Structure 1
Amino acid sequence: MSLLNSIDRPHVLTAIETWDTAGGGNYMLVHGSVSTHVLLHQGREYDAAAIAGIAHGLATGRTLTAADIPGGSAAASKVLTRLGFDIRDDSPPAPQRVPGTRSTTPRTPRAAAAPRATPRPRVAASDRIVDNLCPRCYIAMPATGICDQCD
């Protein structure tokens, strides 16, 4: 059961009145809520998570911040939408996956890529040899000097 299931439309309308009376800026200073979801009501814009938190306080006696709401402002906006309010999502768009890859950015062909200003230094295999190896299993020894595999 969602934490916000206890609120209903009259609670939200009272929360909007409370917001207007007290001034939304004061709430933002005290609770520090910055939501990417905006509640649109009678030509005005409200922080969806803040209004849901105030409405929860009216319903249960415990006011919530966006951090207290599981799912944050997105969950608050779903509840407010379910109650018949209009919500605008101002969150940045999610990066799109490039089809056929695991990447979110398209690959650039090698010919089109800009050449490196300085070449990357090559590391020889002999430079990677670890001096401290276990004499029984030949795995690199941790700083304790006791092999995790053998002892």
Structure 2
Amino acid sequence: MTRQHVLQAIAEYDSRGRDGFLGVYGYAPTPGYAIVHEGSSYDLPAVLGVAHRFATGRLAPSDEVVGSIGSAAAILRKRGFEVTEPGGSSAAGARSSSRTTTRAPRAPRTTTPRATPTRRTAAPEPVAAICPTCSMTLPATGVCDYCA
């Protein structure tokens, strides 16, 4: 999973809103661990699970993500994300204080105010019609191609 996969998941989280994002993918809110990106906080297990989907094509189950959340948080920190842990510690607090690194100063960021998007809950996906005889999904015509 790359940084880009995580950013894609965060972008979808922003577009759907918290409740819509969690509802669509079936994740429950998980207090404690969170990803902080550009001043916003995101539910870590849900973002990781969806980022895993972008990387592999398979949504990671919630229990699988929660079981490996500590190592996943370390990987996200290596990818440049700030991760908060239960008890209020963050990426900066989790680093060893005995290790010092010198970095080149960053250019100042110019920020423009963003319009706050309206948050909508996700609409449930429509259930596909199924042929009662052969159990195949019906085409848009509503007539089964096999049993017609």
Q: Residues 57-93 of structure 1: CA distance to partner in whole angstroms, max 9, x if unpaired? A: 0010111243122734323212211211011112589
Residues 112-123 of structure 1: pairs in structure 2 closer than 5 A: none
Give 4+ residue runs of structure 1 displaced > 4 Å after superposition.
Answer: none
> Counterpart of 2:75?
79
- Figure out how many residues of one structure are paired with residues of the other and give that number: 87
Pairwise CA distance, 1:16: 0.4
Q: Which amino acid aligns with 1:90?
A: P
Residues 106-145 of structure 1: pairs in structure 2 closer than 5 A: none
> Counterpart of 1:15?
9
Q: Residues 65-124 of structure 1: CA distance to partner in whole angstroms, max 9, x if unpaired? A: 43122734323212211211011112589xxxxxxxxxxxxxxxxxxxxxxxxxxxxxxx
> Counterpart of 1:56?
52
Change in 2 beyond 3 A, CA 1:35/1:65: farther
Q: Residues 49 and 65 of structure 1 are in contact (CA less than 8 Å); yes or no, is this contact kept in structure 2?
A: no
- Larger Rg: 1 or 2? 1
Identity of aligned residues (%): 29
Q: What value does the CA root-mean-square deviation take over the aligned residues? A: 2.2
Change in 2 beyond 3 A, CA 1:18/1:89: same
Q: Is residue 25 of structure 1 aligned with residue 19 of structure 2?
A: yes
Any gaps of 5 or more consecutive residues in structure 2?
90-148
Any gaps of 5 or more consecutive residues in structure 1?
1-6, 94-151
Q: Is residue 47 of structure 1 aligned with residue 47 of structure 2?
A: no
Q: Residues 16 and 51 of structure 1 are in contact (CA less than 8 Å); yes or no, is this contact kept in structure 2?
A: yes
Q: Which amino acid aligns with 1:75?
A: S
Pairwise CA distance, 1:20: 0.7
Q: TM-score, normalised on structure 1?
A: 0.51
> Counterpart of 1:90?
86
Distance 1:15 1:36 in 2: 19
Q: Residues 34 and 83 of structure 2 are in contact (CA less than 8 Å); yes or no, is this contact kept in structure 1?
A: yes
SS at match of 1:26: helix
Distance 1:64 1:40 in 2: 21
Q: Which has the higher contact order (CA 8 A, sep 6+)?
A: 2
